[in-house]
């Protein structure tokens, strides 16, 4: 995994895949890796972030893996490199427990360890990414402390970092310095202005070497799932792609 090159969050199942392939990304975060074109090849790291309805509390580990695996099989068993099995469990809307609570953290550890065992039984040696937390919830670092048994069982530390808290990833790295770190969501919802692209480029260029890669913006199709985050086809995208090409050439 390398931060060099373009990393995208492909939020939609209806992406403009030919245009995405032409961008030659080094990593993609996607809820639906079975939609990713094989033309991207093995050089592109695919992080699968399965989506299921409801909250963690609504699914036993066994029911979760059965649901996720059945959909994967149904859609053609597309290969992937890493899996993020849970998103921002310090939010009640994701975990089913009070925001930032020790109860939520303890439930996440127990549930997550069981899910990791099932992931390894099902898919072998794919990378297991730790659940990233919302940096906007009070007690953010406490929650990461409480997740230690779960994080230690993962292969990669996955974090979210937004421009309102641009160094939140560094705080988490200080807790788990030995683990490779990726940033699977970053930026903010300013839209696609050139000024926003310049802000993101400055932030990206300053990332330390321990960050393997960071997904710089949402690339989506026509479903309008996250329009406030979309940068594809905007001045921001052109600034970012041009700026990263210049960084590569150094």
Domain of residue 158, residue span: 7-249
Rounded to the nearest integer, the mean pLDDT of the chain is: 87
Q: How many domains does the chain have?
A: 1
Predicted confidence band of residue 39 (pLDDT cuts 50, 70, 90): low
Half-sphere exposure of 17 (CA within 13 A, CB side): 13
Evaluate whether 107 touches 60 at the Cβ level (below 8 Å): no
Q: For the segment 179-228, what is each residue's pLDDT rounded down to a tens digit? A: 999 999 888 877 788 998 899 889 988 999 999 988 876 665 555 566 66
Q: Does the pLDDT of residue 235 top 60, yes or no?
A: yes
Q: Does the pLDDT of residue 123 top 90, yes or no?
A: yes
pLDDT of residue 121: 97
CA 136 to chain centre: 17
Exposed e or buried b per residue across 141-180, where buried means at least 16 C-beta atoms within 10 angstroms of its C-beta: eebbebbeebbeebbbbbbbbbeeebebbeebbeebeebb
Burial of residue 51, with CB atoms counted within 10 A of its CB: 0-12 exposed, 13-18 middle, 19 or more buried: exposed
Residue 175 forms part of a structural domain? yes
Residue 2 forms part of a structural domain? no
Residue 1 forms part of a structural domain? no
Residue 12 forms part of a structural domain? yes
pLDDT of residue 40: 73
Q: For the segment 3-26, what is each residue's pLDDT rounded down to a tens digit? A: 667 788 876 656 667 777 777 788
CATH code for position 65: 3.20.20.80
Burial of residue 137, with CB atoms counted within 10 A of its CB: 0-12 exposed, 13-18 middle, 19 or more buried: middle
Exposed e or buried b per residue across 198-207, where buried means at least 16 C-beta atoms within 10 angstroms of its C-beta: ebbbebbeeb
Residue 225 forms part of a structural domain? yes
Asked whether the CA dihedral 119, 125, 126, 129 is positive or negative, the reply is positive
Report the predicted TM-score, pTM, of the whole model to 2 decimal places.
Answer: 0.91
Q: For the segment 126-153, what is each residue's pLDDT rounded down to a tens digit? A: 999 999 999 999 999 999 999 999 999 9
């Amino acid at each position: 995994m390398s931060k060099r090159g373009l990393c995208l969050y492909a939020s939609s199942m209806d992406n403009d895949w030919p245009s995405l392939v032409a961008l030659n990304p080094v990593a993609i975060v996607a809820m639906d890796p079975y939609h990713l074109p094989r033309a991207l090849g093995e050089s592109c790291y695919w992080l699968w972030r399965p989506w299921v309805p409801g909250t963690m509390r609504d699914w036993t580990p066994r029911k979760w893996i059965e649901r996720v695996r059945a959909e994967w099989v149904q859609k053609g068993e597309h290969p992937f490199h890493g899996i993020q099995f849970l998103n921002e469990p310090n939010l009640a809307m994701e975990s089913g427990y009070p925001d930032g609570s020790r109860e939520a953290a303890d439930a996440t550890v127990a549930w997550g360890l069981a899910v990791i065992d099932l992931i390894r039984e099902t898919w072998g040696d794919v990378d297991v990414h730790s659940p990233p937390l919302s940096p906007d919830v009070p007690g953010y670092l406490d929650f990461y402390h409480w997740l230690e048994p779960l994080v230690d069982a993962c292969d990669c530390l996955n974090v979210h970092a937004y421009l309102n808290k641009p160094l939140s990833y560094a705080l988490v790295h200080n807790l788990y310095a030995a683990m490779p770190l990726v940033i699977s969501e970053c930026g903010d919802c300013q839209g696609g202005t050139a000024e926003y692209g310049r802000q993101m480029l400055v932030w990206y260029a300053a990332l330390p070497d321990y960050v393997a890669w960071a997904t710089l913006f949402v690339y989506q199709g026509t479903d309008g799932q996250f329009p406030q985050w979309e940068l594809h086809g905007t001045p921001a995208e052109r600034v970012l792609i041009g700026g990263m090409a210049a960084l590569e050439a150094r």
